[in-house]
Structure 1
Amino acid sequence: MARIKIEVPESLPFSTELPLYIGHMNHGNHLDNARLLSLVSEARVRWLQSMGYRELDVEGLGILVADAALQYLSEAFHGETMAVEMGADDFNKYGCDVVWRMRDKASGREVARGKTGIVFFDYGARRIAPMPEVFRRRCAAA
């Protein structure tokens, strides 16, 4: 199977710091892949909050994660603090990719990168909905 290779822009408009706790580690004493996705989800919530949104209210619509891909580049360990950079890319009618990069804050070592595909969802109608134009413009301007 071919390895996943994810291209991430050199500069991303949002950054947040996340400490790594013992519960984030696996039996090999490094960052667990399932916990990595959980950390990225926390960063996505903070990214949305930085624009005044919540996952259930982006211009009146919610978001759903449609897919996710990640690529490990190095190990991460208990006690390290990660800087997670994030932004939006590859817009379509119903959503976009939330692209991200995770680095060790102290050394700058890149730990992982990835993208999460999101679609907009009308919870009242229980169906996907077109991306709000205001959200698209805000992300494109960042």
Structure 2
Amino acid sequence: MPRIKIDIPEHFAYSTEITLYLSHMNYAGHLDNALLLSLVSEARARFFMSLDYTELNVEGVGIVVADAAVQYKSEAFHGEVMVVGMSAGDFGSKGCDLLWRMHEKLSQREVARGKTGIVFFDYAARKVAPVPANFRARTQA
């Protein structure tokens, strides 16, 4: 089976730091793969907050995660500070990809990269919604 290969931008529109806790570690003593996605979810929420949005209110509509792909690069350990960079790209009519990269702050060692496909969703109407034009404009600048 071919391995997943994710191309990421050279520069990210947003970045945040997240310290790894013992609760993020697995039985082998390194970052648990399921909890990596939890950290990326936290970074995604912070990304939206940096734009004065929440995941439930982006210009009046929310988001739903449609898919996620991860490419692991190295281990990460308790106490390390991760930097998660994130940018929006590959826009369609109803959603886009959030491309991200996680690296260790001091050594710059890449830990993982990935993309999360999001779809905009009108929670009141319970249906998919178009990408808000202002969100697209603000994140493609």
Equivalent residue number for residue 26 of structure 2: 26
Give, in whole Å, the separation in 2 of the partners of 1:31 and 1:2. 24
State the identity %: 65
* Equivalent in the alignment of 1:7: 7
TM-score (norm 1): 0.98
Residue 101 of structure 1 corresponds to 101
| Gaps in structure 1 of 5+ consecutive residues | none
Q: Which amino acid aligns with 1:10?
A: E
Q: Which SS does the other structure have where 1:93 is aligned?
A: coil
**1:136 to 2:139 alignment:** no
Distance (Å, rounded) in 2 between the aligned partners of 1:102 and 1:25: 16
Q: What is aligned with 2:125?
A: 125
CA offset digits 1:77-121 (Å, max 9, x no partner): 001000000010100000100000000001000000000000000
Matched AA of 2:75: E
Partners in 1 of 2:25 and 2:5 — Cα distance? Answer: 24
One-letter code of the match for 1:136? R
Instruction: For 2:124 and 2:9, locate their aligned partners in 1 and report how far apart those are by CA, in whole Å.
Output: 35
Structure 2 counterparts to residues 60-99 of structure 1, below 5 A: 60-99=60-99
Unaligned 5+ segments in structure 2 are none
User: Deviation of residue 13 (structure 1)?
Assistant: 1.0
Alignment of 1:28-47 (within 5 A): 28-47=28-47
Q: Within 1, Cα distance between the matches of 2:59 and 2:10?
A: 28
- Determine whether 1:114 maps to 2:99: no
1:32 shift after superposition: 0.5
How many residue pairs end up in the alignment?
141
Moved over 3 A (4+): none
